[in-house]
Amino acid sequence: MSQQSHTPADIEIKPRNRKHDIAAILKTDWFDGNAFKTAWFNSMSITFPLGEQFFIDSVRHFAGDVTDPKLIKEVKGFCGQENVHRREHEMYNQAMCDGRGYDLDYLEGRIAKNIAKGRKYFSPMELLASTAAAEHITAIMAEWVLDKDSTMHTETEPTMRELWRWHAVEEMEHKSVACDVYRMAGGTEKMRKTALRRTTFFLLLDIFGGMIHMLRRDKKMWKLSTWTDGYRFLFGKKGMIRLIWPAYKDFFREGFHPWDRDTKDILDQWISEQAEHQAA
**How far is Cα 250 from Cα 262, in angstroms, rounded to an integer?**
13
Angle between helix axes 264-279 and 158-173 (nearest 10 degrees) is 130
Q: Which residue has the higher pLDDT, 280 or 267?
A: 267
Residue spans per domain, the chain: 31-279
**How far is Cα 164 from Cα 18, in angstroms, rounded to an integer?**
11
The arithmetic mean of pLDDT across residues 51-71, rounded, is: 97
**How far is Cα 176 from Cα 228, in angstroms, rounded to an integer?**
35
Is the pLDDT confidence value at 1 over 90? no
Secondary structure of the chain as H, E, C letters = CCCCCCCCCCCCCCCCCCCCCCHHHHCCCCECCCHHHHHHHHHHHHHHHHHHHHHHHHHHHHHCCCCCHHHHHHHHHHHHHHHHHHHHHHHHHHHHHHHHCCCHHHHHHHHHHHHHHHHHHCCHHHHHHHHHHHHHHHHHHHHHHHCCCCHHHHHECHHHHHHHHHHHHHHHHCCCHHHHHHHHCCCCHHHHHHHHHHHHHHHHHHHHHHHHHHHHHCCCCCCHHHHHHHHHHHHCCCCHHHHHHHHHHHCCCCCCCHHHCCCHHHHHHHHHHHHHHHHC
**How far is Cα 172 from Cα 239, in angstroms, rounded to an integer?**
21
Instruction: Give percent of the chain above pLDDT 70.
Output: 99
pTM for the full predicted model: 0.95
- pLDDT for the residue numbered 95: 98
- pLDDT for the residue numbered 115: 95
For the stretch 134-150, pLDDT in tens is 999 999 999 999 998 89
Please check whether the domain covering 31-279 is classified as CATH 1.10.357: no
**How far is Cα 267 from Cα 140, in angstroms, rounded to an integer?**
13
For the stretch 267-279, pLDDT in tens is 999 988 888 777 6
Instruction: Mention every residue, 6+ apart, whose C-beta is less than 8 A from residue 242.
Output: 234, 235, 236
For the stretch 147-173, pLDDT in tens is 988 999 889 999 999 999 999 999 999
The arithmetic mean of pLDDT across residues 202-207, rounded, is: 96
For the stretch 216-268, pLDDT in tens is 999 999 999 999 999 999 999 989 999 999 999 999 999 999 999 999 999 99
